[in-house]
Amino acid sequence: MIYLNGEYMPLAEARIPVLDRGFIFGDGVYEVIPVYSRRAFRLDEHLQRLQHSLDSIRLPNPYTPAQWQTIIEHVIMLNPWEDQSVYLQVTRGVAPRDHAFPKDTPQTVFVMSNPLTTPPARQRETGVSAVTALDNRWLRCDIKSTALLANVLLRQLAVDAGASETLLLREGYLTEGAASNIFVVRDGVLLAPPKDHRVLPGITYDVVLELAQQHAIRHEVREISEEEVRSADELWLTSSTKEVLPITRLDGQPVANGKPGPIYEVMYGYYQDFKRTVMRGKNT
């Protein structure tokens, strides 16, 4: 079951006009929100990031946070899975094709949900492979835009190489993954690239840094050079659906000894504990 412009309906019945600017221009923004035991994880933070994306593309938010919460909770309730991945999208609506903004056009709002598929245990035990590529995206990667062509092409490079993710390098420095944020461990210090216009401000990224802070794991937010990535002790990727996942091969070479590292193991434990606390409703 999905939500489209004020109505709940089966996905197969949902229709949008072909002139929707999301279809014509990729003129829209989105969020992916993980749901554990029917509770949306970090909902306020996802809705704040949605607001940032909407403000950045000068599109008014059609709903208040309370209205969003009602719609999202309803979609969760209408679907059969305990753990879900809620996808929401807002576009600049339906109008004759013209790059300039249309006047007085209502936004298109779409919310769907899928079963949440987190990485299988085997991937956590062995880690995943990644490749590197030049980050050839635009300079507003902080906007969670549905215009994802560059990310699609970059991610496909990984798939073509039999790998899971593409790590992106801009002017010799790590930005993020094609669909994830990237962390580096060197000499016992967890390193993260700064949240600026070159990366998506990941919700999972924030959780990981908060957990590092809480548990006194040494960490630093700073520029990370390609050389530091290639000689890392540990590499991780983070996202709402993948949580925290170790990368153990990069461009065909093992990362350190080619096994998930000790700091990953403790962080993954903290992440699972934190999720359990959230599910008990003590924290969000």
Catalogue the active-site residues.
Answer: 144
**Residue 150 makes contact with ligand PDD by CB under 6 A:** no
The size of the interface with ligand PDD (CB under 6 A), counted in residues, is 15
Structure tokens at 90: 């807002």
For residues 53 and 248, which CB has a smaller minimum distance to ligand PDD in the complex?
53
Query: Nearest approach, Cβ of 105 to ligand PDD (angstroms)?
Result: 25
Q: Which stretch binds ligand PDD (CB under 6 A): 71-79, 110-118, 203-211, 258-266?
A: 203-211
Strand order through the sheet with 28-36: 7-9, 2-4, 108-115, 84-91, 28-36, 39-40
Q: Which of 4, 32, 157, 279 binds ligand PDD (CB under 6 A)?
A: 32
For residues 105 and 136, which CB has a smaller minimum distance to ligand PDD in the complex?
136
Site for ligand PDD in 210-239 (CB under 6 A): 238-239
Measured distance CA(141)–CA(198) in Å, rounded: 5
Site for ligand PDD in 152-191 (CB under 6 A): 176, 179-181
Query: Nearest approach, Cβ of 50 to ligand PDD (angstroms)?
Result: 11
Query: Nearest approach, Cβ of 244 to ligand PDD (angstroms)?
Result: 10
Calculate the alpha carbon distances from 125 to 131, 139, 259, 274, 280 in Å: 19, 35, 8, 20, 27
Q: Which of 107, 166, 240, 248 binds ligand PDD (CB under 6 A)?
A: 240
Q: Which residue has the tokens 């700064």?
A: 194
What are the residues whose beta carbons fall under 8 Å from the beta carbon of 116, sequence distance 6 or more?
34, 35, 36, 81, 83, 84, 85, 241
Query: Nearest approach, Cβ of 21 to ligand PDD (angstroms)?
Result: 19
Binding site for ligand PDD (CB under 6 A): 32, 151, 176, 179-181, 200, 202-205, 238-241
